[in-house]
Structures are given as structure tokens and as C-alpha cells.
């Protein structure tokens, strides 16, 4: 077997599996006689360990392995299980999603959740877009706006992660997320006073948040890095979407995709709104948008800490305080 893992420091958050573990996982998934020809770890992701696995007599497959439970933040707990629970609700994008071949949450083989999926056609947009002139990227972002709108049209029965727990009120779901974020930050040795201050503001302004009464499906991570594009189309053409493990039910305007589309105005990203449509522009909507931005900055701080980005962690404090100041003065 040709095994090519990503080399990481012993204390790194992501910890790969061994060649022997890949073989036993493949044997369980595809039968005892399965012969593994090669397994190459794909190093772009920052949470799960992902491998492209070649099997004798079969198409290549993708193996995704979740972090050990003890390594998972509260706000990222059981993400792979959340994605598995989300599949029926991702139906509007079904033709673009990888098919799950087998799932193992028993922890009998490696003490971690893992699953096998089909390999999507195309090339990762994170690298493939650079092959096109930037003016043509507007078509990519228009497609992304269409896909996001499709997901946001799916209705749920409560607010929170797709696999639960669900809350009747949107404000309760946000407060639960903020409480977990603050606890994660403090467990990591980081100050969380600004996140707790945000939670107090949410408690005072429940009425503004609870104007959102209908839970909609949020992808939570839909952006360039989690899409595939055609390798030979004349214009950037989205052919696949992956890593749907951060799905939840909530206000569409709180979704990660909306946060990212609003960044760098005056660039090709503006084409996103051509197909997604305009955001609400009431006083309440603008206030909710500030709350969502602050919530996202708290989660970003955790990810930067995990990646050892000390400068980025410090920057998150000034960024979040800037939003809190704006909330206090408007």
C-alpha cells in the first residue's frame, strides 16, 4: 500500500491515522478481501482528517476521520454525526453532494467517528478558480448565491444543530451557542469576557432576535474551500459541495456564507447578491446582523487558536469589541 500522510507536529490538533488503520477500516466497509492500493491524506481541511483511498477494482473513495472526542470543542462536538443527520435536508443539493458509502460511529476500530464517501468529480475551487481570469469569477459567485438560496428555503422544526438539541426560540439557540463558545475559550486559556457580554446583550434583546420565527437550513461552511468546479469548463462551474457537517437551523442571514459574501465589497463577491437576493434592511435586521458578526468572531478566535495563529487571536478581540461598541451606540 502506498501511504502518504500529512506530517504534523506531535501536539497538532489534527492527528492522522496509520496505514494499518486505513486497511482495517476499508476491510470493515468493503469486505475482508478488499485490497488497498494507496491512501493519500488531503491537507486542506482543518478539522477532520481526509484521505483519498484507491481500492483494487473500484473507483477511488474518500475517507474522513473525525477528531478524537476529547479534542473536540463544544461548538464542534460530533460534527460528523451532525452531517449524517443532515443528509435528508440537503436534498436541494443532492446531485452535487458526495454519496455516503458507509458510516462507523462505534469506535470499535480506532476510537473515532469515520465515514467513506464517493469521490466528487472536478477540482477544488480553492485552487481551480485561479485558472480563470478574475472577471469570470462573478459567475461562480452567482452560482454560489443560487445554491445558498436553495438551502435557505428548507424549513425546520426548531433552532439549533440539525442533530439537536433544538430550541423553540432563536434567541435560546444563540445563547446556547455563545455559552459553549465562552466555555471553549476559557478551557483553551483564552479570555471570553467579550463573548459573555454579547450573551448578556442577546438576553436583553430577545425580542429583536425572536422576530425570526421560522427555522431555515444553514450550511454553516459553504464557501470556496468546500466546493468543486469543473476541470474543463470555459467558465468556473460549480459541480460539487462537500463538508456539510456544520449545518443548523436558524436565521439565513446568520449563515457563514452570508458573512463571507459581505466581506471585500466591490469585488467579484458582489455577484453573490445577484442570485441570492438582497438582505433585509430594517433596524432590527441590521442589529441582528451585528450580533451574528460578533458571534462568528468568537468562533473564529477558537479556530485561530487551534491553528496557532496568535496574531489572529489578538485581532479577534479588537474586531469583536468594535462590533460590541457599535451595538452599544446604535
Instruction: Convert the pLDDT of each residue in 295-310 to its tens digit.
Output: 999 999 999 999 889 9
At residue 330, the pLDDT reads 82
Residues with Cβ within 8 Å of 311's Cβ and at least 6 positions away in sequence, in order, are none
What global pTM score does this model have?
0.95
Query: Is residue 22 scored above 80 in pLDDT?
Result: yes
Could you tell me the maximum CA-CA distance found in the chain, to the nearest angstrom? Answer: 67
pLDDT at 327 over 80: yes
> What Rg, from alpha-carbon coordinates, does the chain have?
20
Q: Please, what is the average pLDDT of the chain?
A: 96
pLDDT value at position 246? Answer: 97
Domains and CATH numbers, the chain: 2-118 (3.30.200.20), 123-328 (3.90.1200.10)
Q: How confident is the model at residue 9 (pLDDT cuts 50, 70, 90)?
A: confident
Q: What integer pLDDT is reported at residue 11 of this predicted model?
A: 81
| pLDDT tens-digit series, residues 39-97 | 999 987 789 999 999 999 999 999 999 999 999 999 999 999 999 999 999 999 999 99
Give the percent of the chain with pLDDT over 70. Answer: 100
pLDDT in tens, 116-125: 999 999 999 9
State how far the Cα of 280 lies from the Cα of 276, in Å rounded to an integer.
12
Q: Is pLDDT of 319 > 90? A: yes
Q: Residue 43's pLDDT is what?
A: 81
pLDDT score at 301:
97
pLDDT score recorded for residue 23: 97
- pLDDT the model gives residue 73: 95
20-38 mean pLDDT:
97
Share of the chain above pLDDT 90, in %: 95
Question: Strand 61-65 relative to strand 100-104: parallel, antiparallel, unpaired?
Answer: unpaired
Q: pLDDT tens across 283-298, in order?
A: 999 999 999 999 999 9
Tell me the mean pLDDT in the region 137-156: 98
In this structure, is the dihedral angle defined by the CA atoms of residues 286, 288, 289 and 291, taken in order, positive or negative? positive
Q: What is the pLDDT of residue 45?
A: 77
Amino acid at each position: 500500500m502506498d501511504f502518504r500522510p500529512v506530517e504534523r507536529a506531535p501536539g497538532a490538533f489534527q492527528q492522522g491515522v496509520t496505514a494499518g488503520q486505513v486497511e482495517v477500516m476499508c476491510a470493515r466497509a468493503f469486505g475482508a478481501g478488499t485490497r488497498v492500493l494507496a491512501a493519500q491524506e488531503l491537507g486542506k481541511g482543518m478539522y477532520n482528517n481526509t484521505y483519498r483511498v484507491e481500492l483494487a477494482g473500484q473507483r477511488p473513495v474518500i475517507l474522513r476521520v473525525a477528531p478524537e472526542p476529547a479534542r473536540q470543542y463544544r461548538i464542534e462536538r460530533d460534527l460528523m454525526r451532525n452531517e449524517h443527520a443532515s443528509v435528508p435536508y440537503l436534498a436541494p443539493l443532492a446531485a452535487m453532494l458526495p454519496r455516503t458509502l458507509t458510516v462507523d460511529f462505534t469506535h470499535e476500530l480506532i476510537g473515532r467517528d469515520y465515514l467513506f464517501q464517493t469521490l466528487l468529480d472536478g477540482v477544488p475551487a480553492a485552487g481551480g478558480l485561479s485558472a480563470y481570469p478574475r472577471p469570470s469569477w462573478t459567475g461562480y459567485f452567482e452560482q454560489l448565491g443560487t445554491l445558498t438560496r436553495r438551502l435557505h428555503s428548507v424549513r425546520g422544526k426548531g433552532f439549533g444543530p440539525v442533530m439537536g438539541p433544538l430550541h423553540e426560540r432563536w434567541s435560546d439557540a444563540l445563547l446556547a451557542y455563545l455559552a459553549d463558545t465562552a466555555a471553549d475559550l476559557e478551557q483553551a486559556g483564552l479570555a471570553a469576557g467579550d463573548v459573555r457580554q454579547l450573551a448578556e446583550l442577546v438576553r436583553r434583546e430577545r425580542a429583536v432576535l425572536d422576530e425570526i420565527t421560522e427555522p431555515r437550513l444553514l450550511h454553516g461552511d459553504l464557501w470556496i474551500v468546500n466546493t468543486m468546479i469543473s476541470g474543463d469548463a470555459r467558465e468556473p462551474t460549480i459541480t460539487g459541495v462537500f463538508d456539510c457537517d456544520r449545518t443548523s437551523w436558524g436565521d439565513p442571514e446568520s449563515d457563514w456564507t452570508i458573512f463571507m459574501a459581505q466581506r471585500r465589497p466591490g469585488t467579484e463577491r458582489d455577484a453573490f447578491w445577484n442570485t441570492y437576493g438582497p438582505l433585509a434592511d430594517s433596524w432590527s435586521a441590521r442589529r441582528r446582523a451585528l450580533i451574528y458578526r460578533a458571534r462568528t468572531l468568537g468562533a473564529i478566535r477558537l479556530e485561530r487558536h487551534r491553528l496557532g495563529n496568535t496574531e489572529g487571536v489578538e485581532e479577534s478581540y479588537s474586531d469583536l469589541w468594535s462590533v460590541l461598541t457599535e451595538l452599544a451606540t446604535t
